[in-house]
């Protein structure tokens, strides 16, 4: 049946129903339509039989007219009940009952053989099973089947008195098969109805699942702040969530997105062209993602847009746009980058300050020695007996004309040789003392020069990659810290491998990490309660990496603290700033390495391990 004819037929049936009945669920509405349609068809059949009454024998015309009249009255009553009742159950019972009784009476009125095999009889099981269900429908079907197989023959043979029962085997067999066919018709209707109910139940479950999924999806789409748009193949809007409506209204001074209209019809031409270009790519089956800068209320915003094709099989029937405002995230990323650079600068400055503190401490200690030596020299010069030599020379000049008599006869002259001898010895000792102090002074100045030179040498190569000998750099870090571990009661152990290859790194950055680790180890060892202080430095190659370990038996680290050691701002020291280890870990990653920590708990020491890629290896022997 064509769609137009079916629609007209359903409209005709619905005109016989009330407005309230037309709002019933689909199954009940369908049964009411079948009742009304069946009544209409029965009236047509009754009228057709009524026209054929003159062809019947005169003795049968009266009963036939009576049966047809009753059937027509019942049909009209069924139509009246349908208009009054909301449920189709009572009209269906009346319809099936009247049809079954009418056919039963009509068959009993017809004596000729085969009268019970009329095709109209099949309407009963079909209608009864559909309208009333299998059990109620079986009652009406069984009534007609029993009549066709046995009752009709018994009635018209007078229970064997008028003629012998089943005198015509072929006719009897046909009647029996008619009854069996009615039962088979009921069985097929019941099978169809059962299958249909199962299909409908499955469809209801599927629809329920779809409704739930649709509700969840709709709730998700409606609640998200992201932009969600759906377009058809011609670029017309199908759906827009509140996030899209809000963004579009802010972009276009309040213009709303209307389903059915072209998308972005009120936007600037450049944006329309941008969307159209990527929309064509998506309609071609390509998934496109891009960022676009738009003006929202006069302020620039960055939106990330995903164009996703919607397919039906192999055919693209539309596309979906997902948009997210990235402005805040871009700003946060920029701020994070600035913070990262600031952190590295602060770390570098802290490392430089640590090194500068060590340099100044070293220079300060040496300057103390310089000051002591200079003071001693000044004191020796102030107490020098050189002035006595001057007085002796003046005395000799006064007696130059009689020098022999003066030395032999004058009491002062006789004492002058002994005085000069004693003065010579004194001046010799003074010279030796001042020479020793000047030697120490020169050594101290040389030490200051070497410390400053070493600091300058390491700082000069900041940012440049070079082959660095790690053991020598560790020793430099120890000297830059200006710590006498023996004086602090710390045993220093160096456990370097026999052959330690160099690493290709930024010398200054690696030195900062080492100074930071050594400084932390020193603080851990100087904490109260630590005995038998010991610091162990290990350097050894491990495969393609070089391992540098700084181990101490100091206060240790609690297990719950270890995972947070390298976090920004976290510190266990009272006067710590919380970015030394964090910056060291970042610097290690920049150099392609990794900084880790291991500790068995409080007062059980800690080991910090720096692993660096070896890169281009240069053994110490070849460099020599």
- Does the pLDDT at position 4 exceed 70? no
Structure-token match 């300060």, residue found: 364
- Alpha-carbon distance of 21 to 82, in angstroms, equals 9
- Per 3-state DSSP, the chain is made up of helix, strand and coil in percentages (nearest 5) of 60, 15, 25
- Alpha-carbon distance of 66 to 333, in angstroms, equals 94
**Domain 461-623 has what CATH class?**
alpha beta
Q: Which tens digits make up the pLDDT trace of 243-258?
A: 888 888 888 777 788 8
Percent of the chain whose predicted confidence (pLDDT) is above 70: 81
Q: In the predicted model, what is the mean pLDDT of residues 207-216? A: 82
Q: In 85-168, which ranges are continuous DSSP H helix?
A: 89-109, 123-132, 134-146, 152-156
For residues 553 and 164, the model is more confident at: 553
Q: What pLDDT, on the 0 to 100 scale, is given for residue 360?
A: 65
The band of 99, judged by pLDDT with boundaries at 50, 70 and 90, is: confident
3-state secondary structure 566-621: CCCCCCCCCCCCCCHHHHHHHHHHHCCCEEEEECCCCCCCEEEEEEEECCCCCCHH
The band of 451, judged by pLDDT with boundaries at 50, 70 and 90, is: low
- Classified as helix, coil or strand, 291 is strand
Q: Which tens digits make up the pLDDT trace of 479-510?
A: 766 555 667 788 888 999 888 898 988 887 88
- Classified as helix, coil or strand, 267 is coil
Q: What pLDDT, on the 0 to 100 scale, is given for residue 86?
A: 76
Q: What pLDDT, on the 0 to 100 scale, is given for residue 539?
A: 93
Non-local CB neighbours of 212 within 8 Å, separated by 6+ positions: none
Q: What pLDDT, on the 0 to 100 scale, is given for residue 622?
A: 39
For 5-14, 121-130, 372-381, 482-491, which range has the lowest pLDDT when averaged over its residues?
Answer: 482-491
The band of 528, judged by pLDDT with boundaries at 50, 70 and 90, is: confident
Count of helices and strands (H, E) across the chain:
19, 12
- Does the pLDDT at position 390 exceed 60? yes
CB-based contact 516:550 (threshold 8 Å): no
Q: What pLDDT, on the 0 to 100 scale, is given for residue 159?
A: 67
Q: What pLDDT, on the 0 to 100 scale, is given for residue 609?
A: 93
For residues 319 and 178, the model is more confident at: 319
Domain boundaries, the chain: 3-204, 224-325, 353-457, 461-623
- Alpha-carbon distance of 462 to 459, in angstroms, equals 6
Q: What pLDDT, on the 0 to 100 scale, is given for residue 540?
A: 93
Q: What pLDDT, on the 0 to 100 scale, is given for residue 345?
A: 72
For residues 621 and 20, the model is more confident at: 20
Q: What pLDDT, on the 0 to 100 scale, is given for residue 216?
A: 80
β-sheet bridge partners, residue 608: 550, 597
The band of 619, judged by pLDDT with boundaries at 50, 70 and 90, is: very low
Q: What pLDDT, on the 0 to 100 scale, is given for residue 193?
A: 78
For 87-101, 534-548, 602-616, which range has the lowest pLDDT when averaged over its residues?
Answer: 87-101
Q: What pLDDT, on the 0 to 100 scale, is given for residue 66?
A: 76
Kindly report the pTM of this predicted structure.
0.40
CB-based contact 141:125 (threshold 8 Å): yes
20 HSE (CA, 13 A, CB side): 6
β-sheet bridge partners, residue 316: 311
CATH 3.40.50.720, applies to 224-325: no
Residue-averaged pLDDT of the chain:
78
- Alpha-carbon distance of 294 to 48, in angstroms, equals 77
For 45-54, 104-113, 143-152, 401-410, which range has the lowest pLDDT when averaged over its residues?
Answer: 104-113
Q: In the predicted model, what is the mean pLDDT of residues 560-572? A: 75
Q: What pLDDT, on the 0 to 100 scale, is given for residue 38?
A: 81
Percent of the chain whose predicted confidence (pLDDT) is above 90: 4
- Does the pLDDT at position 471 exceed 80? yes
* DSSP letters for 161-201: TSS-TT-SHHHHHHHHHHHHHHHHHHHHHHHHHHHHHHHHH
Q: What pLDDT, on the 0 to 100 scale, is given for residue 610?
A: 94
Q: What pLDDT, on the 0 to 100 scale, is given for residue 615?
A: 64
For residues 452 and 577, the model is more confident at: 452
523, 532, 581: which is closest to 553 by C-alpha?
532
Q: Which tens digits make up the pLDDT trace of 285-325?
A: 888 888 888 888 778 888 888 999 988 888 888 888 888 88
The segment with the largest mean pLDDT, out of 114-118, 475-479, 518-522, 609-613, is 609-613
Non-local CB neighbours of 432 within 8 Å, separated by 6+ positions: none
**Which run of H or E residues covers position 231?**
strand 227-232
Q: What pLDDT, on the 0 to 100 scale, is given for residue 612?
A: 93
Q: What pLDDT, on the 0 to 100 scale, is given for residue 578?
A: 59
């Amino acid at each position: 049946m064509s769609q137009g004819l079916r629609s007209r037929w359903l409209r005709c049936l619905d005109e016989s129903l009330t407005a309230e009945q037309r709002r019933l669920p689909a199954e009940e509405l369908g049964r009411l339509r079948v009742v009304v349609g069946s009544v209409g068809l029965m009236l047509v059949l009754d009228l057709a039989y009524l026209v054929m009454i003159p062809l019947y024998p005169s003795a049968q015309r009266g009963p036939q007219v009576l049966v047809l009249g009753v059937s027509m009255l019942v049909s009209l009553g069924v139509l009246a009940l349908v208009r009054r009742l909301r449920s189709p159950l009572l009209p269906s019972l009346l319809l099936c009952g009247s049809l079954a009784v009418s056919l039963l009476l009509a068959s009993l009125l017809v004596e000729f053989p085969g009268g019970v095999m009329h095709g109209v009889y099949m309407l009963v099981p079909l209608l009864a099973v559909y309208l009333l269900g299998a059990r109620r429908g079986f009652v009406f079907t069984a009534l007609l089947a029993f009549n066709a197989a046995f009752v009709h023959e018994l009635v018209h043979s007078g229970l064997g008195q008028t003629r012998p029962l089943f005198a015509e085997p072929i006719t009897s067999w046909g009647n029996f098969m008619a009854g069996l066919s009615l039962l088979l018709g009921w069985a097929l209707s019941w099978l169809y109805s059962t299958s249909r109910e199962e299909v409908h139940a499955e469809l209801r479950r599927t629809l329920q699942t779809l409704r739930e999924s649709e509700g969840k999806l709709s709730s998700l789409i409606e609640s998200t702040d992201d932009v969600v748009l759906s377009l058809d193949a011609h670029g017309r809007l199908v759906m827009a969530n509140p996030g899209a409506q809000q963004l579009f209204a802010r972009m276009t001074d309040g213009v709303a997105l209307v389903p059915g209209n072209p998308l972005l019809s009120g936007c600037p031409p450049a944006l329309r062209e941008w969307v159209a270009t990527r929309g064509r790519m998506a309609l071609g089956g390509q998934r496109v993602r891009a960022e676009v800068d738009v003006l929202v209320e006069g302020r620039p915003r960055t939106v990330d847009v995903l164009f996703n094709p919607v397919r039906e099989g192999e055919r693209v029937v539309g596309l979906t746009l997902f948009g997210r405002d990235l402005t805040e995230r871009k700003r946060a990323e920029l701020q994070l980058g600035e913070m990262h650079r600031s952190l590295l600068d602060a770390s570098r400055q802290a490392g430089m300050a640590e090194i500068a503190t060590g340099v100044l401490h070293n220079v300060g200690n040496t300057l103390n020695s310089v000051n002591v030596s200079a003071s001693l020299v000044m004191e020796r010069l102030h107490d020098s007996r050189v002035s006595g030599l001057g007085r002796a020379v003046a005395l000799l000049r006064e007696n130059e004309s009689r020098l022999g008599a003066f030395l032999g006869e004058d009491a002062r002259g006789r004492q002058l040789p002994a005085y000069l001898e004693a003065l010579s010895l004194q001046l010799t000792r003074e010279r030796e003392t001042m020479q020793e102090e000047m030697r120490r002074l020169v050594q101290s100045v040389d030490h200051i020069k070497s410390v400053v030179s070493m600091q300058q040498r390491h700082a000069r190569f900041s940012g440049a990659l070079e082959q660095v000998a790690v053991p020598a750099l560790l020793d430099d870090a120890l000297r830059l810290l200006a710590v006498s571990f023996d004086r602090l009661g710390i045993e220093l152990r160096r456990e370097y491998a026999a052959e330690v290859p160099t690493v290709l790194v930024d010398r200054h950055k690696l030195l900062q990490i080492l100074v930071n680790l050594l400084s932390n180890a020193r603080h851990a060892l100087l904490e109260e309660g630590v005995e038998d202080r010991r610091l162990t430095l290990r350097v050894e190659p491990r495969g393609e990496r070089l391992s540098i370990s700084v181990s101490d038996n100091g206060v240790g680290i609690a297990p719950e603290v270890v995972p947070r050691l390298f976090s920004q701002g976290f510190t266990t020291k009272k006067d710590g700033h919380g970015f030394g280890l964090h910056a060291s870990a970042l610097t290690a990653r920049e150099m392609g390495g990794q900084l880790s920590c291991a500790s068995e708990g409080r007062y059980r020491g800690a080991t910090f391990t720096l692993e660096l890629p070896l890169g281009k290896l240069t053994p110490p022997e070849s460099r020599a």
